Structure 1
Amino acid sequence: MKIVDGMRWGETELLKKEIENARFDADLLLAEVLKVTRDRLYLDWDRNLSEQENEQFRAFIQRRASNMPLQYILKRQEFMGLSFYVDERVLIPRADSEILVEKWLDLVRQENDEGQDRVIKVADLCTGSGALAISIAHYYPVAEVVGIDLSLDALEVARQNAERLGAIVQWRQGDFVDSIRGECWDYIITNPPYVSTEDYQKCAPEIFHEPAMAFLGGSDGLDFYRRLAEEIRPLLKPQGKVLMEIGWDQAEAVCSLFHLKGFKTQVFPDLAGRDRVILAR
């Protein structure tokens, strides 16, 4: 089988299973097998695949056709200009979550006097792959960043990513805020599970390959925000702030939880104009 035949076959197989972006995914999987860039496929389109390359490509297409996320097959996902290792132990970082890091960087730069970076203590709850914590440590190296997750498997992936990317982050295992009690933070950031039980059942089939605990936020999706609003005040410095990712339709409900506890809130949209991040102070 030549490269061009492989691309056509892969696309056809994925289309049979109604996989979106079938040609793009097939191309990337074949490029991964051949260890080349996607554009190189079109330059070498008449090259014959070896038996081993053919077998590996067919295995990749079979996995993608079963709704395995492309990122899990490739073992990587781009986030904030950095390449993160991902597998079934962690949630795949989404581009929408970049808004949280970008807003954090904007806030910190506004707070800094005379452009001099100051040391800031940051706790990232439900860190997963470490995408938020590592991005903050990468783009603001003087920050003292701690990443927390209940899953030891997720923390293993996060540590691996920090080592690969040269980011200094301390990792802790614990249930949400339990491992940071007794300390005071400048910022607490989080992308917690916020999908309701009902909505989770309606998710795209790829979602069910990701850890369910990274999505499920209780019957209405708000369980972790309730905990945060109830328990966060003693964990913040006087000028401390909380940045949270939310579902597109949760801004009013989450803001209300924090207003009841005396916090002021501000909502930021994602690139599609949907509510995505809440700042509470």
Structure 2
Amino acid sequence: MNIRDGMCWGEKELSKKGIENPRFDADLLLGEVLKKARDRLYLDWEHDLSFQEEESFRSLIQRRAANVPLQYILKRQEFMGLPFYVDERVLIPRADSEILVEKLLESMELEKEQRAGQKIKVADLCTGSGALAISTAYYFPSAEVVGTDLSFAALEVAEMNAKELEVSVQWRQGDFLKAIANERWDYIITNPPYVSLKDYDDCAPEIFYEPKMAFLGGEDGLNFYRCLVEGVGSILNPQGKVFMEIGWDQGEAVCSLFQKKGFATQVFQDLAGRDRVILAR
């Protein structure tokens, strides 16, 4: 089998299993085995694979055909232009979550000149791989950033990513607001579990390889927002803000929860024009 044959075979095998973008995935998996960039495969596609390389490639295609997420096979995912290590201990960062970080950074930048040298304190709840917290610390290094998660295993991944990207984030294990309850914060950010029980059963099969606790937000998906709105007011500074990722159909419900507690809210859409992030202040 040469590279061209391998690309075609891999695409065919993944297509039979209904994998989206089968050629793209097959190319990346073959590139992983050969340690070649995707464009290099097309330049070298008459190159013959060794027996070991072919066996490794077939094994990776078999895993992907079984709906194992590509990111878990490759052990990486890009977020905010940064490389993150990911495995089955953490949720795979999605591009939609970049909207939250972008809006947070915009707000922090506007406040910077008014802070008179004081650090801006940010807490990221349900940090998982650390994507939100680390991206914030990377692009706004003067901030004091804390990331929390109930899962010790997830925090191991987050700490690994922070070290690799050489950013300073403090990690805390704890149950949601309890991990940050004794301090005051300028910003609280979170991508909490917000999938309802019904919607979870209808998710793409790849989802079931990711940590279930990172998805399920109760019967209607709103449990974590209810918990947040009950306690967040007492730990925010007077001008403090909360940035939350939400499901595309949860904007009205989450805004209502916060407005009833006296918060002003603003909704931001993702690139597809769907509600994705709520700012509450």
| Fold shared, TM-score > 0.5 on shorter chain | yes
Matches within 5 A, 1:157-168: 157-168=157-168
1:191-230, aligned counterparts within 5 Å?
191-230=191-230
Matches within 5 A, 1:111-260: 111-113=111-113, 118-260=118-260
Matched with 1:99 is 99
Q: Is the CA contact 1:146–1:171 (under 8 Å) kept in the aligned structure 2?
A: yes
Per-residue CA deviations over 1:10-59 (Å, capped at 9, x if unaligned) read: 00100110101000000000001111100000000000001111111001
Aligned position for 2:78? 78
TM superposition shift of 1:110: 1.6
Letter aligned with residue 94 of structure 1: R
Which amino acid in 2 is paired with 1:90? V
In structure 2, distance between residues paired with 1:146 and 1:275: 26
- How far is the alpha carbon of 1:114 from its aligned partner? 7.7
Structure 2 spans left out of the alignment, 5+ residues? none
Amino acid across the alignment from 2:27: D
* More displaced stretch, 124-133 vs 104-113: 104-113
Tell me, in whole angstroms, the C-alpha distance in 2 between the residues paired with 1:226 and 1:268: 20
3-state SS in 2 of match to 1:172: strand
Q: Does 1:56 align with 2:17?
A: no
Distance (whole Å) between structure 2 residues aligned to residue 114 and residue 176 of structure 1: 30
For 2:18 and 2:269, the matched residues in 1 are separated by 31
Q: Which amino acid aligns with 2:229?
A: A
Aligned residues: 281
Is the contact between residue 117 and residue 142 of structure 1 (CA under 8 Å) also seen in structure 2?
no
Q: Matches of 1:67 and 1:35 in 2, distance apart? A: 23
Whole-Å separation in 2 of the counterparts to 1:22 and 1:207: 18
- How far residue 182 of structure 1 moved from its aligned partner, in angstroms, is 1.4
Q: Which residue does 1:34 correspond to in 2?
A: 34
Distance 2:115 2:55 in 1: 55
Code of the aligned partner of 1:123: A
Give the CA deviation at 1:119: 1.4
Match of 1:17 in 2: 17
Q: Provide closer, same or farther for how the CA distance between residues 103 and 42 of structure 1 changes in structure 2, counting only shifts above 3 A.
A: same
Displacement after TM superposition at 1:113 (Å)? 2.0
Contact 1:80 1:98 in 2 (8 A): yes
Counterpart position of 1:66: 66
Letter in 2 for 1:2: N
CA contact (8 A) 1:196 1:217 kept: yes
What is the deviation of 1:111? 1.8
User: Which has the larger displacement, 116-125 or 78-87?
Assistant: 116-125
TM-score (norm 2): 0.98
**Greater than 6 Å deviation, 4+ residue runs:** 114-117
- State the SS of the aligned residue for 1:261: coil
SS in 2 for 1:217: coil
What SS class does the counterpart of residue 177 from structure 1 fall into?
Answer: helix
Q: Deviations over 1:218-239 (max 9, x none)?
A: 0000000000000101110111
Q: Partners in 2 of 1:60 and 1:106 — Cα distance?
A: 41
Q: Who is 1:268 aligned against? A: 268
- Deviation, 1:115, is 10
**Could you say which residue in structure 1 is the equivalent of 2:4?**
4
In 2: Cα distance, 1:223 partner to 1:191 partner? 13
